[in-house]
Amino acid sequence: MDKKIILVVDDEPDILETISEILNLEGYTVFTARNGNECLEKLDDIIPDIILLDIMMPGLTTKEILDQIEQDERLKDTKIIFITAVGMTEAEKEELLSREKVVDFIQKPFELDELLSKIKAVLR
Amino acid sequence: MDISKHLEENKVILFIIDSSRYNDAVIEALKSLPNDGNLVYITLNKTASSLENFLKDKSIEFKNLIIVDCITRTIRDVRDKDDIIYIDSPKALSDLSFVLSGILSKRKKGYIILDSLTTLLVYQDKPVVARFILNMANKIRESRFKSLIFAADVNEHKDFLKEIGIFVDKVVKG
């Protein structure tokens, strides 16, 4: 069976490195990007099963990234889990979850077990 | 953290707060402010709705609070309301500066909260943020407003916060 591909997008190098290591150990193929622009550049070359996308990053806004991903037909099966340190209401999260590609949120700081279980749930 | 004394003597105060008690310290500081309908809250780490819920949870209700929300429009489209001004993104410091100037000229006196300086550093380079804070501090000094700038005490930004300390009237650590 092909290894599942995960693109991790976060501007904090420590987080990027830690998540990548853990996901690699779990058997996923992992790509990383440090901001929205890098994320979109990577998406020219890969079609991930899941994008772990930080909401608070330099460069493109979350809305801009999401709009572009949604328009890309190649990414029709790609799902997004938001990683966020931003304070949002449940209603605002629900609104984002109503977008087809957005499947879950994870609030920083988070336990890696929590992240892994969310990823497994999405890929199931 | 009772900040009343600091507010009596200074116009622009930088609060450098341990990350572990950041929200609690912000709440304590807010509770020290007069509730006279002249508070403007610039939020860079919570959406306006989330900030409203946060204040409500802490039993804080400011009369005629104006929120300048730099986050929501990075996530979704939203229109300005009477009491909420939406900035497209924390990157849009010229827009934020413009809104700030409008508030200072229209509302005559009050308090400007900036929450938080360290979040701003996610979106902008340090020299740009430093220029913005210097500009903001100068505008506040020329007005009848006072300002509370909050920052999380993180190792990564210690030198920068020291530099910003030169632009403000008082640095309070808590």
**Count of CA atoms in the C-beta half-sphere (13 A) of A72:** 20
Domain boundaries, chain A: 5-123
Query: B72-105 pLDDT, tens per residue?
Result: 999 999 999 999 999 999 999 999 999 999 999 9
Query: A7-26 pLDDT, tens per residue?
Result: 999 999 999 999 999 999 99
**ipTM of model:** 0.86
B window 140-169, beta carbon within 8 A of A: none
Query: B46-72 pLDDT, tens per residue?
Result: 999 999 999 999 999 998 899 999 999
Q: How far apart are the first and last CA of chain A?
A: 14
Q: How far is CA A77 from each of CA A83, A101, B170, rounded to the nearest angstrom?
A: 19, 8, 53
Token pair 């508030």 is found at B103
For residue A85, give the nearest of B158, B23, B156 by alpha carbon.
B23
B window 66-85, beta carbon within 8 A of A: 71-77
Answer left, alpha or beta for residue B172, where phi above 0 means left and psi between -120 and 50 means alpha. Answer: beta
Interface probe with B: pick from A70, A80, A88, A94, most Cβ of B within 10 Å: A88
- Give me A79's structure tokens: 């799902």
Answer yes or no: do A61 and B123 touch at CB < 8 A: no
**Rounded Cα–Cα distance for residues A53 and A47 (Å):** 15
With contacts defined as CB-CB under 8 Å, which chain A residues touch B47? 86-89, 92
Interface probe with B: pick from A11, A37, A57, A86, most Cβ of B within 10 Å: A86
Q: What average pLDDT does the segment A69-95 reach? A: 94
Task: Assign domain A5-123 one CATH number from 1.10.10.1100, 3.90.1520.10, 3.30.360.10, 3.40.50.2300.
Answer: 3.40.50.2300
How far is B8 from chain A, CA to nearest CA, in Å?
Answer: 31
Q: Is B147 helix (H, G, I), strand (E, B) or coil?
A: strand
